[in-house]
Amino acid sequence: MRYTDFENIMTPARMGRYLTACRDNTRKAMTMYRKNLQLSKELFTVISCFDIALRNAIDQHYSGAFGDDWLRIAAAPGGIVDNIRNRIVHHEPICFLPGNPVKNTTYARQHYNLILQFFHWMSIDEAALLYGLDHINTVCNEIDAIRESAGLVEQSSLART
């Protein structure tokens, strides 16, 4: 698909951050957009499993003290599970630093590792639970490779070398 057609479908406002991150390389921008969708899908799968495990663990612990409706209140807008999931469901670009066009998978990796830590604290074997579903590091590495293959090294990467 030609970039102009892709941009007309996805809108210039949505694609602008990708185009900037790829230094106006339209092919790389379309690839990064697709990889961001893939990363969102992967994170949503892990978050969904975590969401269920967390809700069940909390429900078992608190239902006696607060009654059967306490979980519905926690899941309401602004509740315990409302925010990380919403960025993904609303197709927010999660392969960037929040609020700017600098490609960075740190946000996704940090939240992924936090979820794995939560599974561990809940005594859940996350590797067994997510078997065949967890491809987050692979997709993050692919997103990072887009930048590297186009010579798109951010200032923060240069400072570390």
Does residue 21 form part of some domain?
A: no
- pLDDT digits 0-9 by tens, 13-47: 999 999 999 999 999 999 999 999 899 998 999 98
Q: Above 70 in pLDDT, residue 80?
A: no
- pLDDT digits 0-9 by tens, 42-79: 899 998 888 888 878 877 877 876 677 766 666 666 55
Does residue 129 form part of some domain?
A: yes
Residues with Cβ within 8 Å of 155's Cβ and at least 6 positions away in sequence, in order, are none
What SS3 state is found at 105?
coil
- pLDDT digits 0-9 by tens, 95-116: 776 677 777 788 888 888 888 9
Does residue 2 form part of some domain?
A: no
Question: Any idea what DSSP says for residue 103?
Answer: B
Q: What angle do CA 102, 104, 110 make, to 5 degrees?
A: 145
Spatial distance between the Cα atoms of 104 and 50, rounded to a whole number of angstroms: 23
- Which tokens hold the place of 21? 């991150």
Q: What is the pLDDT of residue 16?
A: 92
pTM of structure: 0.59
The count of residues in the chain is 161
Does residue 33 form part of some domain?
A: no
Domain count, the chain: 1
Question: Which structural domain range is residue 137 located in?
Answer: 39-160
**DSSP per position, 14-34:** HHHHHHHHTTT-HHHHHHHHH
Does residue 29 form part of some domain?
A: no
47 contacts 119 by C-beta, under 8 angstroms: no
Q: What is the pLDDT of residue 24?
A: 94
Does residue 17 form part of some domain?
A: no
Spatial distance between the Cα atoms of 80 and 74, rounded to a whole number of angstroms: 5
Does residue 19 form part of some domain?
A: no
Does residue 78 form part of some domain?
A: yes
